[in-house]
Amino acid sequence: AQSVTQLGSHVSVSEGALVLLRCNYSSSVPPYLFWYVQYPNQGLQLLLKYTTGATLVKGINGFEAEFKKSETSFHLTKPSAHMSDAAEYFCAVSTDGSSNTGKLIFGQGTTLQVKP
């Protein structure tokens, strides 16, 4: 069965510092992987996704993630944090690879704090 583990429920960085949010997955099929961001009292917004092809995926707001099959990881990074990046971030894996069977499994979320 598919599962997602986000290491660290809270991450704090200084403005301008590197952001690294960790995500490890378990999947019995080639995974489709996603990162979403959620601002307080709002819905989730897709940051980036990995389906097939290039393992380094670039998303919105300067974020990127690298799919590492050998490590079953999909960590999210941003070279320089901005105050507006403060939010909750969710990693998700599709339960059935490329098929649209309607199910994503979400991690518990990581709250990113950015200090001035």
Q: Binding of another protein at residue 42 (CB under 8 A)?
A: yes
Q: Which candidate, 97, 116, 95, 106, places its Cα nearest to that of 37? A: 106
36 counts as binding another protein under rule CB under 8 A: yes
Q: Does 32 bind another protein (CB under 8 A)?
A: yes
Question: Is residue 50 a contact point for another protein (CB under 8 A)?
Answer: no
Sheet bearing 73-78, strands edge to edge: 3-7, 19-26, 73-78, 64-68, 56-58
Q: What is the DSSP letter of 116?
A: -
Stretch that binds another protein, among 12-20, 21-29, 79-87, 104-112 (CB under 8 A): 104-112
Q: Quote the tokens at residue 65.
A: 């993630």
Contacting residues toward another protein, per CB under 8 A: 9, 32, 34, 36, 41-46, 49, 90, 94-96, 98-104, 106-109
